Each structure stands twice: as C-alpha cells, then as structure tokens.
Amino acid sequence: MAEKVETEGEEKKGLNFIEEIVYEDLKAGKNGGRLSTRFPPEPNGYLHIGHAKAICMDFGVAEKFGGTCNLRFDDTNPVKEDVEYVDSIREDIHWLGFDWGDREYYASDYFPKLFDLAVRLIKEGKAYVDDQTSEQIAQQKGTPTTPGTESPFRNRTPEENLDLFLRMNEGEFEEGSRVLRAKIDMASSNMHFRDPIMYRIIKHPHHRTGTKWKVYPMYDFAHGQSDYFEGVTHSICTLEFVPHRPLYDYFVNELADDTYRPRQLEFNRLNLTYTVMSKRKLLQLVKEGLVAGWDDPRMPTISGMRRRGFTAKSIRNFINMIGYTKFEALNSVSLLEHAVREDLNAISTRVMAVMNPVKVIITNYPENKVEMVEMENNPENPEEGMHQMPFSREIYIEREDFMENPPKKYFRLAPDAEVRLKGAYIVKCTGVKKDAAGNVEEIYCTYDPETRSGLPGSAKKVKGTLHWVSVQHAVDAEARLYDRLFNVENPAADERDFHEMLNPDSLKVVKGIKVEPFIAQNAEKGRHFQFQRIGYFTPDYDSTSEKLIFNRSISLKDSWEKEKKK
Ligand code: ATP
Ligand code: MG
C-alpha cells in the first residue's frame, strides 16, 4: 500500500493542479479513460499572451496524457467576428508549437442542435420569451443579497413562447426587442441562475452562416453544450468562469447521461505589467491608430511579439515559470523579457552594428587595403562557426564610445587612450577634428599591426573593447526601438483614461545606423541577431534589401564592460 502511494507521488511530481485533476480523473476511469480538451477563442481579435497561457494548458495537458485538443472558434456574435481573426488565430497557435489536426470546429456548427435544444426547453416549460429591454431585465436582476423580480412575461404558455421564438428567428422582430430566457430561479443565490438569457436577436450576417440565423445563443447557452457535442472531457478556462460553472452543469445536464459529461476547470489569468489584455482595448489601440496594427511589436499579441523577435520557446518558458494557480496575479513583464533574453542569447548570431556612428580614421593603415577578420557567430554554440567581416582604414564606432575629456576609469576611446577593436587591432587615439560648433567629426587613430586578434601580439591587454563597422562596406539601416506601451504598471486597474497612460516614447526610430555586410546579406525574416553591445534585433516585416529595417527585440542586459568586472 505504502509503495503504491509512493509511485503515485512519483507520477504526479511536477504536475500543476489542473493536471493533477486530469490525472485523477483518468486514473478513476472517468469518461472511459478518454481525455479531450479544447481551446475556444472568439474570433473577435488577435490572440495575446494571455491566450498563450490557455493554449499551453489546453494543448499541453492533452499532449502530456495522450489526449487530444480541439480548436473551437466560439463564433456566437457575428457583429464582432471576422475571418481575418480566424486566420491569425490558426497561425499563432501553430507558431506557438501546437496542432489540432483535423479537429477544427466552430460553435456555429452547433447552431442547429442548440436551436433544437432551446425549442425542447421551451416545450418543457423551461424557457420563455421576454419582451422587456435589456435595461429592464438588468434592473430586475436583484443583488447577491436581494432576490430578483420575475418578468411579467415569465408565465407565457409553451405554445406562445415557441411561436414567438420561431418568429424571432424569422426576423420578424427588431434587435433588442425580445430575448429567450431560461426559466430557473429569480431568487437563486447564484446570479447566473436568475433566468439567464439564452438567445438574442442579431440581424448582422455571420461570417460562416450568413443570414440563416436571426437569433444567436449566449456564451452560457453555447459553451457547455458545444463541449458536450464534441466529447470534450475537461473544459479548462479562467477563474472568472467559476460562478458560471453551475449554469454550465445545468445546461449540460439537459443533454448528458451518466456515461459522459464535460467538466469545467478554472485557472488564473495571465496579466502583464505595463500593458492591457482586454481585446476591447487592444482593438481600440488599433482602430485609433495608436499602434500600427494588431501585430505592432509593442502589442501584447502573439503576432506582435513574433514580429518583435520574441521566440515561441521563450513565451512557452515564461508561461511555465509563472505557472497555474487559483489566485489572480499581475505578472511582471521583466520575467517575460528575461525568458526572451535567455533564448535569444542561445540562438542569435553575433554581429556588429553601429547605432550612432562617428568616423575613425586609422592614419597608419594603408589606404586601399581591406582585411577580412573572423567573427564567431555564437559563442553559446561553437557549431555555428564563424563569418568574415571587412576591416579597412576608415571605420565607424559609436559616438558614445569616445570622450574628449573622460572621467577616471573610462575604458573606451579618448585622446592618447588605447582600445581593442573587437576581432581586429588595438588602436590609439591621436587626435580629433571638430566642426564649428565643437562636435567631433572625425577621430584619428594609429593601429599596431602586431596586435591583430589571433596573433601573439593580441595578448596585449587593454581595458576597453569596441564594436565597429568598416565605412566603405557598411550598409545603412533603420532600427526601431521599443519600450513599454504604457507607463503605468497596471493600466487596467487605473481610473484614468487609458490614452493618458500611454508611453509617448514606446517607439523610437533610429535612421542611418551602420551594419556590417553580413547582416545585410542574411536579413531574412525570422532571423535573430545580437548586435554586439547593443541588443537583440530581427528584420521587420517591412524590411527590404533596398531599405533594411530592424526591430530591437530586447536590449542586452550586460555590456562587455560589466561582464569583465565580474
Ligand atoms: P473576450 O473579452 O473577448 O471574451 P477573452 O480574452 O476571454 O476575450 P476568448 O477568445 O474568449 O477571449 O478567450 C479564449 C480562451 O483564452 C478562453 O478560454 C479564455 O479563458 C482564455 N484567456 C483569455 N484571456 C486570458 C488570459 N489573460 N490568461 C489566460 N487565459 C486567457
Ligand atoms: Mg471570452
């Protein structure tokens, strides 16, 4: 006996609380030992990182225990839904690394069955047509401590209800003039049981069923039954649905027998600092042109993060780190950024780009000479080998890497100071040329041919190492630097209008950066670069060979200087 408990502990190790429940259900042989989950997005917007948490759960648990996960579009509100969203949702789930095989379903596929169930409930006296407005119905709802008021239309005969409901679906009545409600209990302690609305009239055409239907089911009347029709065993959703669960079970009971019934389980939502997760607000950002679209790299959408250069793996790792609990929390975006850095550090090709260039002339280097120096592609993965980078008499370095009157312990370039040009030579500053306003226009240096990286003289120690790009070989590019979209930690909890909380500096465009030729030759979409000492970058979708554009995925945590001090 003790031994059995121990094996159980072994098997359960590392399971989150939802997986434990699934494990126990499977072990108890519920639903014939079958496991089926679903991810049920409403196609009314693009998926965001919160959805990624749900996707990792729904598909992840199915994978873990040998079950299946359906993709079900919850398309019950034609007014807000669009095929553009359907397509983007499919793409994003695949990109995250999950697949639903041929199990792509739509709640609208079940409209006939749901309608039949509604008709049955009407005939059984369990549903009625209410002619009141939604305001009147809301006023009669009561409060959690005071019972609601029964509608004057509550006791219509089944015949009259059926006649009205069929005519509602024929399009005879205006939107908002009538609804179908379940006749349950206006005094229930669960507000969701106070005669919830099952159907409303909508005359807007549906993206799949066209103008066939004039009545559309509410979420609560569609979701559990759709789960049931598909044979879903574990219907996993977020905590706000806890109070809906009794109603979910109530409608499922109208269909299910004792051999199978879907079970709703809830976990905590993902909320991220310095952004919003509500699709309504994200849509507003897009519609008002406050961002460049759903896939703007500042958006918390999957497509925005992909465009920005976040990897699917880093998003999955982040979701793993925050875990699943029964308590709402606000997750720090820094943790996501940490996961992104960790993965990009492992996979990015190291290259050189100068963001704010100033010219350096190496006066003792031959005018027409070009040497190729070897650059390691990725010290984290030596198998990725090397690439060559041209060195010549004139190079660019960062303006910030030179100071005419440096403070003590300044290890970059200054008059009479020496620095190593990464992968090439040690140079010494001999002078500068300034314009009328006193700005440095050119820096003059001499180099020591014995100090080339790889030669015996390269053992010579200097404190600073700079990145650089050869002037005649440099390619111009644009860099887009992103910062947090909001300058408030939790905009959703703030009373102010969200426009006031937008970070005005969330996008900085830097034109005229200089990149090494290797970058230009390899700037295909989806490629990840580390611009050394600057950050991680990826070509933007708008980038072309004529006009290179790079998104900064994330800044580097440490510069070479800081690493050396360790
Ligand atoms: P809406 O406000 O339009 O209903 P929604 O965010 O609930 O938006 P859905 O398309 O209904 O969007 O969500 C699909 C699934 O993703 C649901 O199961 C939902 O629980 C889950 N989900 C949505 N937002 C989050 C989040 N922030 N964290 C975890 N799961 C989420
Ligand atoms: Mg929803």
Q: What is the DSSP string of 19-57?
A: HHHHHHHHHTTGGGG--EEEE---SSS--BHHHHHHHHH
For residue 191, what is the DSSP state?
G
For residue 371, how many other CB atoms are within 10 A of its CB?
A: 15
Closest listed residue to residue 215, CA positions, set 172, 252, 153, 157: 172
> Which residues have a Cβ under 8 Å from the Cβ of 178 and sit 6 or more positions away?
129, 130, 131, 164, 168, 201
Largest distance between two CA atoms of the chain: 101
Q: Given ligand 1 and candidates 38, 42, 283, which is best to mutate, with the most ligand atoms within 8 Å of its CB? A: 42
**pTM > 0.75: yes or no:** yes
pLDDT (tens place) for every residue of the chain, 566 residues total: 333 444 555 666 789 999 999 999 999 999 999 999 999 999 999 999 999 999 999 999 999 999 999 999 999 999 999 999 999 999 999 999 999 999 999 999 999 999 999 999 999 999 999 999 999 999 999 999 999 999 999 999 999 999 999 999 999 999 999 999 999 999 999 999 999 999 999 999 999 999 999 999 999 999 999 999 999 999 999 999 999 999 999 999 999 988 899 999 999 999 999 999 999 999 999 999 999 999 999 999 999 999 999 999 999 999 999 999 999 999 999 999 999 999 999 999 999 999 999 999 999 999 999 999 999 999 999 999 999 999 999 999 999 999 999 999 999 999 999 999 999 999 999 999 999 999 999 999 999 999 998 887 778 889 999 999 999 999 999 999 999 999 999 999 999 999 999 999 999 999 999 999 999 999 999 999 999 999 999 999 999 999 999 999 999 974 343 444 44
- Ligand 1 center to 242 CA (angstroms): 14
Q: How far is Cα 145 from Cα 189, in angstroms, rounded to an integer?
A: 7
> Which residues have a Cβ under 8 Å from the Cβ of 247 and sit 6 or more positions away?
190, 192, 193, 196, 220
- Ligand 1 center to 81 CA (angstroms): 15
Q: Are 351 and 384 in contact (CB under 8 A)?
A: no
Q: What is the pLDDT of residue 566?
A: 42
Q: How far is Cα 181 from Cα 481, in angstroms, rounded to an integer?
A: 52
Q: What is the pLDDT of residue 559?
A: 38
- Ligand 1 center to 551 CA (angstroms): 28
For residue 24, how many other CB atoms are within 10 A of its CB?
A: 12
Q: Given ligand 1 and candidates 42, 51, 324, which is best to mutate, with the most ligand atoms within 8 Å of its CB? A: 51
- Indicate which residue's Cα is closest to atom 13 of ligand 1: 41
- Ligand 2 center to 25 CA (angstroms): 26
Residues with CB under 6 A from ligand 1: 40-42, 44, 50-51, 53-54, 74, 237-238, 269-270, 277, 279
- Indicate which residue's Cα is closest to atom 8 of ligand 1: 279
> 484 forms bridges with which residues in the sheet?
none
Q: Are 303 and 294 in contact (CB under 8 A)?
A: yes
Of all ligands present, the nearest one to the C-alpha of 281 is 1
Q: What is the pLDDT of residue 257?
A: 87
